[in-house]
């Protein structure tokens, strides 16, 4: 049954418009939330909706920001995890985080950073690598993937920085 369903799946590129029939049109946009995240503008006759999970309007170190044409949908359907949360600026949060990590390792401690969100591990690796380089720190940094532990590689960080350009 799943194989039959998958035969009907059509891959859609970002900014591609798919005209299903005379009334239904769907256009994909980059959501900027995680690698591969998309939002969709769906038009049916004279009405339209924008459907998306999370989206991010601020570029990260490894992902660009969301982008959509100027549209005026009749309905917006979106995830709202942090809709009512007021947070410090990203710069302030990163500064506080790096200060705590630096203070810990300067005293000989070790830092374990559990990361649950897809893509956040890459963002933190780039943040830490940039800070380590700027501060000339020689403390090794490791990240885990599955059950394996890897040293933070300059090749990985370089790839992540370059792949951000969409």
Q: Looking at the annotation, which residues are catalytic?
A: 79
CB of 56 within 8 A of CB of 63?
yes
The bridge status of strand 17-19 relative to strand 148-151 is unpaired
Bridge partners for 48 per DSSP: 43
CB of 141 within 8 A of CB of 133?
no
The bridge status of strand 24-30 relative to strand 17-19 is antiparallel
- Smallest CA-to-CA distance from 26 within 4, 36, 37, 11 is with 11
Tokens of 95: 């500064």
Distance, in Å, from the CA atom of 156 to the CA atom of 130, rounded to the nearest integer, reads 13
């Amino acid at each position: 049954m799943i194989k039959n369903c998958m035969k009907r799946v059509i891959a859609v590129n970002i900014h591609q418009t798919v005209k299903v029939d005379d009334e239904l049109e769907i256009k994909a946009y980059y959501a900027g939330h995680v690698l591969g995240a998309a939002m969709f503008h769906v038009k049916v006759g004279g009405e339209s909706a924008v459907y998306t999970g999370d989206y991010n309007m601020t570029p990260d170190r490894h992902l660009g920001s969301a982008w959509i044409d100027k549209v005026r949908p009749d309905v917006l359907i979106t995830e709202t995890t942090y809709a009512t949360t007021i947070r410090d600026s990203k710069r302030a949060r990163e500064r506080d985080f790096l200060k705590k990590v630096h203070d810990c390792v300067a005293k000989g401690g070790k830092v374990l950073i559990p990361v649950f969100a897809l893509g956040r591990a890459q963002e933190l690796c780039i943040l830490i690598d940039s800070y380590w380089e700027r501060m000339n720190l020689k403390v090794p940094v490791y990240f885990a993937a599955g059950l394996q532990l890897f040293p933070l590689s300059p090749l990985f960080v370089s790839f992540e920085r370059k792949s951000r350009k969409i």
